[in-house]
Copies of this chain bind each other. A is one copy, B any other.
Amino acid sequence: MARRSKTRRDSGGSRSGPLASPHVARRLPVFDVMDEQTIVRLEQQVDWLIEEVGIEFRDDPEAHRIWERAGAKMEGNRLRADAAWIRELCRQAPSEFTQVARNPARNVRIGGANQVFAPIYGAPFVRDLKGGRRYGDMESFEKLVKLAYLHPNLHHTGLVICEPCDVPVSHRHLDMVYTHMRWSDKPHLGAITEKSRAQDSVDMAEILHGREVMDQNCVIMGNVNTNSPLLVDKVVSEAIQVYCGRGQGIVLVPFILSGAMGPVSTAASVTQAMAEALVCCAFAQIVKPGAPFVLGNFLSSMSLKSGAPTFGMPEPVLSNYAIGQMARRVGLPLRCGGSLTASKIEDAQAAYESADSMQSTAVAGAHFVLHAAGWLEGGLCTGFEKLVMDADRLGAYQKLLGGLDASDEALARDAYAEVEPAGHFLGCGHTMRNYQTAFYEPALSDSENVESWEEAGEKDMRQRAYERWTAMLEGYEAPPIDEAVDEALRDYIARRKREIPEAWY
């Protein structure tokens, strides 16, 4: 253990040591951006969408049967339901829950005053300072999972940290899930792209955690997007059946580019996202009352010049705050936002956009934040440097969410007995007692004077980030795992790979 501690210190992992808790325990108050009248107007529109416009469930006859058995009436694929009933069903979902990790010290609490940060999900490309931009592969995937495991400011490793494009699509989910299970001991997600892949993820989680733990706990979740506007396809409804059917969690996220998959208006897009998510939550609660459900919202604006999605802009920033307020009213854990940007590289654009996006995500009270680190190019590319740069800032948000300490010690009255007007507090008793924990200590910000910075080679943040992630990987040691469990996982994967034909689509 002593050796391991030292290794992680050397890799820079201990820089934010005091903050390395398994999740954020928020004390900062919430920020409500709507008055009562406005939020009621939006809630009325959510109900109107559920009751009058309706939502379609396509290509999954079982989903229709589930709704009908619960008493709903399908008109073809369209469900128009009583909104009060939908909201009543949603109240069966827990307002907060624990996702158990294989290392209990890594368990995360999602919902309420607890917030969890996880890395980018779904990028086909990767980029780093030396290797440039290229398709993601299993080697990059494994490195990125290890970095997410090592970083003290990431609480959860997500799943598709990049697409490992060198593994056949039909086998990919097995290798991805195993990588998270074996080379990290933080909580993670499972696959959702097809019903059998969701089932494989759940089955592997049962091998890892054991049936009894799984019966009593959420140990894995799937993250799914509705096909906005107003369509739930079978990928979503089947994933809900597989995960929630086993008492596991679903993160359900309408992805709305306002003006394309929703009206060109923040208020309308937010209500549409709420309507889609609430109907899916109700569906999940019919499948399994009490199943953990995270209400999602992923809203993007667009460029007038080209129609390209834009990120970190004031409309999605405002939507983070608005959806945070709406989620608190329905009492469901929320996923929204992230460290989002349209920039291709880790330049100032990437950082301005990511910071505006992520500060609002954190302050809005997002309980589960996918894409909290590593996102470039509108989500098409995972940046190695970007991952550690964003994660360094996550420590700052975690400190911010701790709120203002106004204890007697924080008020420091004794310091004024020691320090005269125009004097300095550097050596006074209060400073000596508190300086080591007073300030967030970033690993990647250079705050030295220009001469020191020039002498050290005029490195920009990107270069420092490259040095940091390479040092972190050098210091990596795998978390221990029960050998029998590891063998059982490997056997499962080998059998499934024999059963499933290789396919690249």
Contacts and interface: CB of A to CB of B under 8 A. Distances in A.
B342 A445 contact: yes
Nearest to A27: B33
Given A267-B411, A356-B396, A426-B259, A448 B306 contact: yes
Size category of the A interface is 35 or more
B444 A229 contact: no
A135 interface: no
A265 B378 CA distance: 39
Given A359-B360, A404-B322, A423-B229, A439 B351 contact: no
Interface stretch (A163-171, A241-249, A311-319): A311-319
A461 interface: yes
Given A304-B436, A310-B447, A342-B447, 11 more contacts: A258-B439, A260-B425, A261-B425, A304-B435, A311-B447, A317-B359, A345-B458, A346-B348, A347-B347, A352-B355, A352-B445
A462 B347 contact: yes
A435 B264 contact: yes
Contacts of A133: 450
Given A38-B406, A133-B450, A450-B380, A349 B461 contact: yes
Contact of A421 (B56, B307, B348, B424): B56
A377 B305 CA distance: 34
A85 interface: no
Interface string A122-153: 00000000000100000000000000000000
Contacts of A378: 447
A65 interface: no
Interface stretch (A1-9, A47-55, A98-106, A192-200): A47-55
Interface in A1-54: 28-29, 31-35, 38, 41-42, 45, 48-49, 53
Copies in the complex: 2
A70 interface: no
A172 interface: no
A26 B311 CA distance: 22
B33 A447 contact: no
A399 B263 contact: no
Nearest to A432: B264
A268 B418 CA distance: 15
Interface string A423-434: 111101011001
Given A267-B404, A450-B380, A230 B422 contact: yes
A442 to B, nearest CB: 7
Nearest to A227: B422
A405 B271 CA distance: 13
Contact of A404 (B304, B310, B318, B381): B318
Interface in A337-363: 342-356, 359-360, 363
A129 to B, nearest CB: 12
A447 B308 contact: yes
Nearest to A268: B412
A303 B447 contact: yes
A439 B310 contact: yes
Nearest to A228: B422
A393 interface: yes
A245 to B, nearest CB: 25
Nearest to A431: B264
Contact of A230 (B33, B410, B421, B434): B421
Most chain B CB within a 10 A radius of its CB, from A133, A266, A404, A428: A404
A397 interface: yes
A504 interface: no
Contacts of A349: 351, 444-446, 460-461
